[in-house]
């Protein structure tokens, strides 16, 4: 019998993603990969995995997953309200996000809705036992490659686990939510900012733009004031000879509204790019929802590099600062009884000199 997680009910858009299929853009192969590398990295770290292990990227609403393995450690990261269902007729019990959990055979994990973001992540200890394509498990659904049959998950799918049972170990959680930053999205001008008028460039950095309904893993179309192209013999408006597309490239077609290109972007494009979102802010783009508004602010390449280094340092500090997580309901009595306690009191709530433990809160041995 294959150990796995079976999709009882599919979410809206759940795909397997790692950090991307790098090195093949010259062959016309998009990188795909996680929209939010920070969220995936934290989930993998909580599950004890290397950073590039493929996890489940959850879009807007997650699936219900039946555990068909002896046990499995999972980690959820993002603004979720997950729940655990012990059996077909059992009530759902709330679980915490931003931490790891031990699940056992027959339990159902209800991942639930994402609140205030478009993306969250689920990682499993050891990863999924699926074949890589061009060195990656990332799903590129437009071409039907990678991940689970090159598509989003559907009811009845069985995601095979690399580990048939969970290894011993404590559960962990984030000490506090990771700070993605706020304020304008930082961008570096170019590579074709000279294809836009001075007025067009001012409009881009001085005005507010709204995420349209045309937003997905390929890119985000924004609504707002139009950005004027330059009118000269050398720069013929909104068309260029097609060239490479970097993550976060901001194309401006003839209609004058910006399109920010993301994980599933094409490898080349023929519209001029006014700027490129600094890599430090790409995870923020991956979390935006239709209707949310943003502003853009131009910074230098040197500033962008310094910001990314600082973000990576903060990410490593967050991982180093994981704390022990209690099981749902408070004290892990099974673990407590395994300890060789001579005398002592365990409190499930903060204790003061004027409070006394109840029989449910503590005792001696």
Q: Do strands 249-251 and 273-277 pair parallel, antiparallel, or not at all (unpaired)?
A: antiparallel
Q: What does the pLDDT average to over 259-283? A: 96
Q: Quote the pTM value.
A: 0.87
What pLDDT does residue 231 have?
Answer: 82
Residue 130 has pLDDT above 90, yes or no: yes
Q: Distance (Å, rounded) from C-alpha 278 to C-alpha 175? A: 27
Is 130 within 8 Å of 137 (Cβ atoms)?
Answer: yes
Is 245 within 8 Å of 266 (Cβ atoms)?
Answer: yes
Q: Does the N-terminal peptide bond of residue 191 adopt cis geometry, omega within 30 degrees of 0?
A: yes
Is 148 within 8 Å of 16 (Cβ atoms)?
Answer: yes
Q: Do strands 71-77 and 119-124 pair parallel, antiparallel, or not at all (unpaired)?
A: antiparallel
> Is the pLDDT higher at 331 or at 286?
286
What pLDDT does residue 355 have?
Answer: 44
Listed in sequence order, the residues at least 6 apart from 319 whose beta carbon sits closer than 8 Å to its beta carbon are 41, 42, 45
What pLDDT does residue 365 have?
Answer: 37
Per-residue pLDDT reduced to its tens digit, 18-36: 999 999 999 999 999 999 9
Per-residue pLDDT reduced to its tens digit, 289-347: 999 999 999 999 999 999 999 999 999 999 999 999 876 555 554 445 545 555 555 54
Per-residue pLDDT reduced to its tens digit, 167-187: 988 899 999 999 999 999 999
What pLDDT does residue 351 have?
Answer: 41
What pLDDT does residue 146 have?
Answer: 96
Q: Which residue has the tokens 């349209």?
A: 212
DSSP states of 216-280: SSSEEEEESSPPPBPBSSSSBTT----EE--TTEEE--TT---EEE-TT--SEESS-EEEEE-GG
Residue 364 has pLDDT above 70, yes or no: no
Per-residue pLDDT reduced to its tens digit, 183-233: 999 999 999 999 999 999 999 999 999 999 999 999 999 999 999 999 865
Is 172 within 8 Å of 46 (Cβ atoms)?
Answer: yes
Terminal-to-terminal C-alpha distance of the chain: 42
Is 93 within 8 Å of 109 (Cβ atoms)?
Answer: no
Backbone angles phi, psi at 97, to 5 degrees: -95, 180
What pLDDT does residue 169 have?
Answer: 84
Q: What angle do CA 320, 324, 326 make, to 5 degrees?
A: 155
What pLDDT does residue 360 have?
Answer: 41
Q: What angle do CA 276, 298, 189 make, to 5 degrees?
A: 45
Query: Structural domains in the chain?
Result: 4-173 (no CATH), 185-304 (2.40.100.10)
**CB-facing half-sphere around the CA of 287: CA atoms within 13 A:** 24
Show the tokens assigned to 68: 């068909």
Per-residue pLDDT reduced to its tens digit, 40-94: 999 999 999 999 999 999 999 999 999 999 999 999 999 999 999 997 778 899 9
What pLDDT does residue 65 have?
Answer: 97
Question: What is the average pLDDT score of the chain?
Answer: 90
- Give the helix/strand (H/E) hosting 335: helix 333-338
Left (φ > 0), alpha (ψ -120 to 50) or beta: where does 36 sit?
Answer: beta
Name the residue among 26, 28, 44 with its Cα closest to residue 17. 44
What pLDDT does residue 345 have?
Answer: 52
What pLDDT does residue 358 have?
Answer: 42
């Amino acid at each position: 019998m294959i150990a796995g997680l079976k999709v009882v009910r599919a979410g809206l858009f759940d795909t397997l993603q790692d950090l991307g299929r790098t090195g093949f853009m010259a062959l016309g192969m998009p990188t795909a990969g996680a929209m939010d590398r920070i969220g995936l990295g934290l989930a993998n770290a909580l599950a004890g995995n290397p950073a590039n292990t493929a996890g489940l990227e959850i879009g807007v609403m997650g699936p219900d997953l039946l555990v068909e393995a002896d046990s499995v450690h999972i980690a959820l990261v993002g603004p979720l309200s997950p729940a655990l269902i012990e059996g077909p007729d059992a009530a759902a019990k709330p679980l915490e996000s931003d931490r790891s959990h031990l699940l056992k055979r027959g339990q159902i994990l209800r991942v639930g809705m994402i609140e205030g973001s478009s993306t969250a992540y689920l990682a499993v200890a050891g990863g999924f036992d699926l074949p890589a394509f061009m060195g990656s498990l990332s799903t590129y659904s437009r071409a039907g490659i990678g991940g689970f049959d090159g598509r989003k998950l559907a009811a009845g799918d069985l995601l095979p686990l690399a580990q048939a049972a969970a290894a011993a170990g404590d559960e962990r959680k984030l000490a506090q939510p990771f700070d993605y930053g706020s304020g304008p999205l930082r961008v570096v001008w170019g590579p074709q900012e000279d294809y836009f008028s001075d007025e067009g460039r001012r409009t881009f950095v001085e005005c507010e733009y709204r995420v349209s309904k045309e937003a997905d893993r390929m890119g985000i179309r924004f609504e707002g004031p139009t950005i004027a192209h330059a009118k000269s013999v050398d720069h013929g408006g909104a068309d260029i000879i097609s060239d490479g597309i970097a993550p976060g490239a901001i194309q401006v077609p003839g209609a004058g509204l910006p399109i920010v290109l993301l994980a599933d972007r094409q490898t080349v494009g023929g519209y001029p790019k006014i700027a490129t979102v600094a890599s430090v802010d790409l995870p923020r783009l991956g979390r935006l929802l239709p209707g949310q508004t943003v502003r853009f602010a131009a910074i230098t390449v040197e500033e962008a590099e310094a910001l990314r280094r600082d973000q990576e340092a903060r990410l490593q500090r967050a991982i180093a600062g994981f704390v022990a997580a209690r099981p749902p309901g408070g004290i892990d009595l099974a673990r407590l009884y395994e300890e060789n306690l001579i005398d002592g009191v365990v409190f499930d709530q903060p204790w003061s000199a004027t409070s006394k433990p109840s029989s449910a809160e503590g005792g001696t041995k």
